[in-house]
Structure 1
Amino acid sequence: MPLTLKLTRTWTDRYALIVLSGLLPVVLGLFILAWQANRSLELIALHTSEEAVRQFDQMLDNADLAADVVLPLAGQECAQIELALRDQVTRRPFVRSVNLAWDNKLYCTSLFGRFKESVYPGDYTAGTLWLMPGNPVTPNEPLLVLRKQNGQQSVLVSLYGFHLVNVLGLINPKTHLLIQVGNAWIDRYGLVSNTALPDYPVAQVSHPSTQYPYRVVAGFSEGEIARYAVVEYPVLMGLLVFLGLISAATVHWLQKRASSPSHELQRGLEAGEFIPYFQPIVRSDTQEWAGVEILMRWQHPREGLVRPDLFIPFAEHSGLIVPMTRSLMQQTAALLSPHAANLAQGFHIGFNITARHCQDLGLVDDCRAFLKAFAPGHIKLVLELTERELIVPSEVALQLFAELHAIGVMIAIDDFGTGHSSLTYLREFNVDYLKIDQSFVAMIGVDALSKHILDTIIELSAKLELGVVAEGIETEEQRDYLTSRGVEFLQGYLFSRPLPPEQFIKSVQARPQQTMN
């Protein structure tokens, strides 16, 4: 019967790891993409600010050339030099006006000719640049004024404000830019402000000019990283989702594989969940305990005590039945050896073995270790051959049974009469006992044919001088019939159900000691 444990897991137990494994590559990938997008935006902001500084420096270079030409003219009569001022305005790109001053008194301009106005060097950053919100001629248009001085001579060259605004707005429309001169700054909207600079939350950089006292600040608004990633990395984002699905599917597959019967059995074996239960075997004439069959039970942490028919077939198929039996023998020796004095001399202790056990000689070492836990000759170890898988009489198997007999291990055929290989076992292996299957015992007094088969098995065992154990005794009628036929050993619910270790040991201690052969 296949393993059909119904594992009662919650939704979280079954799917939380799958969901997390699917989200993990996506989240990590998005984090990496966000970092990469932020890095790319920083580079864009840096390159944009560098380009803005380059263009602003070019504008100021033109203003500086104009200033160099007209500065030596400062102090001369305005009527004589105003044409030279206007000539520079027409020759130099971006220049709006050229103005001369003497001793910080503006006296001649390219716009009006003669003009009188005081010049305050403190208005100019480093005495060189002044970002003005406007002047009386154009009060709402910003101006960038370059000042150069030589003694009492000075020249003021103003640049069109809309040239600044064009650079700030058009060089890279997706990047926020501003130019700061002293405490004044202006952005693409063309309003000169003396308040604190705006904070660009994404990839803000500041790039100063190496020639003039100003700097350009660039950056992006909130949410630009996500928008940039969506636009620039659509294939990578799709790949992340695909990897997330692959990861979730892989974990789901591994979970299913890990929860398969063989993996669950391996986990249970490592956790020590397979424990021995003890079903006594009694002498038919005195009803005294003559031995015990060790039955394997699975103490599952969620399902409780699991019936052997639900897991033994899978254990045999996977090969785990061998280490499971070894563990059962070790546990039984540890449990019973301290109470060996309460066991009758020659007490039988039986374990089931399968074809898997007969494929190497390791079983001999397991049996030798088990017998070593008891005083020599005090107990008899019986190995019961099950017939779920055919035991091939190979060279290894024959050597195995020979060595087992050499150390005093007895061999029994379990469920005799139900498998096609029973007679083969009798011929090939040195068998000591036959265990009559409970299906024949159950038909005593009910089915005449089964009773004849039962009698034949008993007669065969007598002729072969084999011991006989009848399993599945549940009624007194069955007990009396088998006793009358000379069956020496009986086992079944009429005498005792399989007992947990603690209860079996208490029962052994409470029973009077007997001597057996």
Structure 2
Amino acid sequence: MPLPHKQTRTWTDRYALVVLSTLLPVVLGIFIIIWQATRSLELEARDTANEAVRQFNLMLDNAARAADVVLSLSGQACEQAELALRGQVTRRPFVRSVNLVLNNQIYCTSLFGSFNEAVNAADYKDGELWLMPGNPVTPHEPLLVYRREKDQKGAIVSLYGLHLVNVLSLINPYTQMMFQVGDNSIDRDGVVRHKPSAPYPVAPVIVSSTQYPYRVMAGFSEGTVWRFIHARYLWLLALFVFLGCVSGATVAWLQKRLSLSSPTHELQRGLEAEEFIPYFQPVVQGDTKQWAGAEVLMRWQHPTEGLVRPDLFIPLAEHSGIIVPMTRSVMQQTARILAPYARNMAPDFHLGFNITAHHCHSLDLVEDCREFLRAFPPGSIKLVLELTERELVVPSDITHQLFAELRAMGIMIALDDFGTGHSSLSYLREFNVDYLKIDQSFVAMIGADALSIHILDSIIELSAKLNLGIVAEGVETQQQSEYLSLKGVDYLQGYLFSRPLTAHAFIEDLLVENRVAH
């Protein structure tokens, strides 16, 4: 069964910067447009409120002039002053009625002549203005009342509320406004409300008159900002979206340009194209020289450079961390290639893969090995992980858990190139290994260097005392083979028996070996 493919890079790794560079101008543009739209609405609301205050002041100026004229008549008999009151009504715009007050009693009006009604100064804001919902004559028509008093004498002038509503409605039909005197207020609906009004939710503006005790509140309803943007700034929003796309495309182009020039990108490209392929070097038994397994070696089949030597790319792959997905890919390919030929392999046929410190940083290797073993009939092969010493594996809770789970799955651990690294003995102490692989530099000294022979013999004796299997690498001569077999070395590997083979050549030789063994 084929192994499932695992992505080597996440979507975020590939496109986060491109998406960010695309969204940043759009988000920044939206922020600027919203700010500009809100600012424009605030200016519009303020200009409208200022114009409303100007017109309301004009109305009240007429009321104040009428009050100034008739104030001197207060105290005269109504029959003598009545005609003058009516003259002010006809002469002054917006004025509905003019009334005389004496000792807080209205005693003469332009509408009824002689009259008698008490005046409550508390009804008037600052004793000057009163916004009424109506009076007994017109109970449903609002009135704005202006009051002037001096030495118990006074004049009261009422203005049509309809004029207030017209100003609130006609100056700017898009801006909502409210005329407020004290706690009483009126808007374009023409209804007087007797409680303080909350500011409008969008672009709220309050403009108070410097001449009279009232204020005008202006603003807009919810959703006005977006309607305003759609009406006036839709082209600008489209421009920012276009700039975002240009920015994203530029960053993507630069990112690709920079990454194409980096060796790491070339490794990543080769990984995604499955250019890292498995080669197989047989491992033979020390006594019978029959095939006991194979070490799976990684080679790079580059589309233009041809077959690249591992010493040219493995160190970079380990440094960048890409060695982990590269190993996974080679394991997947090996499973697809060899699983159909499992019946042609010797019992407990060993398949070995090199792992590094990067593989020990997480437990992902456990799942990779589990999927690899699932591809073969149960018990048909032995999976061996060869721990290299190019990078130090620091013992931790993760590493101990990793090796414990691998051992529970029946996976064997070998120390590769034993005797050449600075941490070989510490690895023996920290990790429960099964095999030592003697580095080819010691094997090459057989018959040539007495000191190296002593080191080689010491390694073989150490493995025997620790009850560890031993594999000798780099066996190239018959003398080396005979010496190692005489010393009881379990497995031999080297050019004397076979060079690393392509998958096709390895399978052909495997079938021949199987026929010879039978």
Match of 1:179 in 2: 179
Letter of the 1:497 counterpart: P
Match of 2:132 in 1: 132
Instruction: For residue 143 of structure 1, report the CA deviation from its aligned partner.
Output: 0.6
Q: Give the aligned CA root-mean-square deviation in angstroms.
A: 4.7
Q: Distance in 2 between matches of 1:314 and 1:209?
A: 88
CA shift in 2, pair 1:10/1:324, >3 Å: closer
Match of 2:102 in 1: 102
From 258, 264, 267, the equivalent of 1:266 is 264
Match of 1:60 in 2: 60
Q: What secondary structure does 2:192 align onto?
A: coil
Q: How does 1:457-476 map to 2 (within 5 A)?
A: none
Q: Distance in 2 between matches of 1:314 and 1:31?
A: 54
Q: Distance in 2 between matches of 1:7 and 1:110?
A: 93
Q: How does 1:333-372 map to 2 (within 5 A)?
A: 338=421, 342=442, 344=444
Q: How does 1:279-358 map to 2 (within 5 A)?
A: 306-307=300-301, 310=303, 312=305, 338=421, 342=442, 344=444
Q: What secondary structure does 2:217 align onto?
A: strand
Tell me, yes or no, if structure 1 residue 495 matches structure 2 residue 498. yes
Write out per-residue CA displacement over residues 182-219 of structure 1, whole angstroms, 9 at most, x where no aligned residue. 11100001000113414421111111111111111111
CA contact (8 A) 2:300 2:307 kept: no
Instruction: For residue 247 of structure 1, report the CA deviation from its aligned partner.
Output: 2.5
Q: Distance in 1 between matches of 2:187 and 2:446?
A: 104
Q: Distance in 2 between matches of 1:178 and 1:26?
A: 37
Normalising by the residue count of structure 2, what TM-score does the alignment of the two structures yield?
0.54
- The percentage of aligned residue pairs carrying the same residue is 53
Tell me, yes or no, if structure 1 residue 235 matches structure 2 residue 228. no
Write out per-residue CA displacement over residues 356-407 of structure 1, whole angstroms, 9 at most, x where no aligned residue. xxxxxxxxxxxxxxxxxxxxxxxxxxxxxxxxxxxxxxxxxxxxxxxxxxxx
Q: Distance in 2 between matches of 1:314 and 1:69?
A: 111
Match of 1:93 in 2: 93
CA shift in 2, pair 1:267/1:103, >3 Å: same
Instruction: For residue 15 of structure 1, report the CA deviation from its aligned partner.
Output: 5.7
Letter of the 1:197 counterpart: S
Match of 1:143 in 2: 143
Q: Distance in 1 between matches of 2:90 and 2:205?
A: 36
Q: How does 1:438-449 map to 2 (within 5 A)?
A: none
Instruction: For residue 19 of structure 1, report the CA deviation from its aligned partner.
Output: 4.6
Q: What secondary structure does 2:156 align onto?
A: strand
Q: Distance in 1 between matches of 2:149 and 2:25?
A: 64
Q: What secondary structure does 2:230 align onto?
A: helix
Letter of the 2:205 counterpart: V
Q: Distance in 2 between matches of 1:164 and 1:493?
A: 110
Match of 1:224 in 2: 224
Letter of the 1:52 counterpart: A
Match of 2:73 in 1: 73
Match of 1:41 in 2: 41
Q: Distance in 2 between matches of 1:15 and 1:326?
A: 27
Q: Distance in 1 between matches of 2:265 and 2:237?
A: 39
Letter of the 2:143 counterpart: L
Q: Distance in 2 between matches of 1:100 and 1:251?
A: 80
Tell me, yes or no, if structure 1 residue 197 matches structure 2 residue 197. yes
Q: Distance in 2 between matches of 1:112 and 1:493?
A: 133
Match of 1:167 in 2: 167
Instruction: For residue 168 of structure 1, report the CA deviation from its aligned partner.
Output: 0.6
CA contact (8 A) 2:301 2:307 kept: no
Normalising by the residue count of structure 1, what TM-score does the alignment of the two structures yield?
0.54
Instruction: For residue 14 of structure 1, report the CA deviation from its aligned partner.
Output: 5.6
CA shift in 2, pair 1:327/1:225, >3 Å: closer
Q: Distance in 1 between matches of 2:187 and 2:307?
A: 77
Match of 2:157 in 1: 157
Match of 2:394 in 1: none
Write out per-residue CA displacement over residues 387-437 of structure 1, whole angstroms, 9 at most, x where no aligned residue. xxxxxxxxxxxxxxxxxxxxxxxxxxxxxxxxxxxxxxxxxxxxxxxxxxx
| Greater alpha carbon shift after TM alignment, 106-115 vs 124-133 | 106-115
CA shift in 2, pair 1:279/1:133, >3 Å: closer
Q: Distance in 1 between matches of 2:307 and 2:137?
A: 98
CA shift in 2, pair 1:345/1:494, >3 Å: closer
CA contact (8 A) 2:178 2:185 kept: yes
Q: Distance in 2 between matches of 1:86 and 1:493?
A: 132
Letter of the 2:87 counterpart: D
Write out per-residue CA displacement over residues 315-372 of structure 1, whole angstroms, 9 at most, x where no aligned residue. 9xxxxx99869979x9x9979765697253599xxxxxxxxxxxxxxxxxxxxxxxxx
Q: Distance in 1 between matches of 2:224 and 2:306?
A: 62
CA contact (8 A) 2:133 2:139 kept: yes
CA shift in 2, pair 1:18/1:33, >3 Å: same
Instruction: For residue 107 of structure 1, report the CA deviation from its aligned partner.
Output: 0.7
Q: What secondary structure does 2:159 align onto?
A: strand
User: Can you give the 5+ residue segments of structure 2 that lack an aligned partner in the other structure?
Assistant: 282-295, 320-387, 391-415, 422-438, 448-475, 477-493, 503-518
Instruction: For residue 88 of structure 1, report the CA deviation from its aligned partner.
Output: 1.5
User: Can you give the 5+ residue segments of structure 1 that lack an aligned partner in the other structure?
Assistant: 281-294, 300-304, 316-320, 348-472, 474-490, 500-517
Q: What secondary structure does 2:193 align onto?
A: coil
Instruction: For residue 27 of structure 1, report the CA deviation from its aligned partner.
Output: 2.1
CA contact (8 A) 2:185 2:196 kept: no
Match of 1:421 in 2: none
CA shift in 2, pair 1:76/1:31, >3 Å: same
Instruction: For residue 494 of structure 1, report the CA deviation from its aligned partner.
Output: 4.3
Letter of the 2:500 counterpart: R
Q: What secondary structure does 2:191 align onto?
A: coil
Q: How does 1:419-458 map to 2 (within 5 A)?
A: none
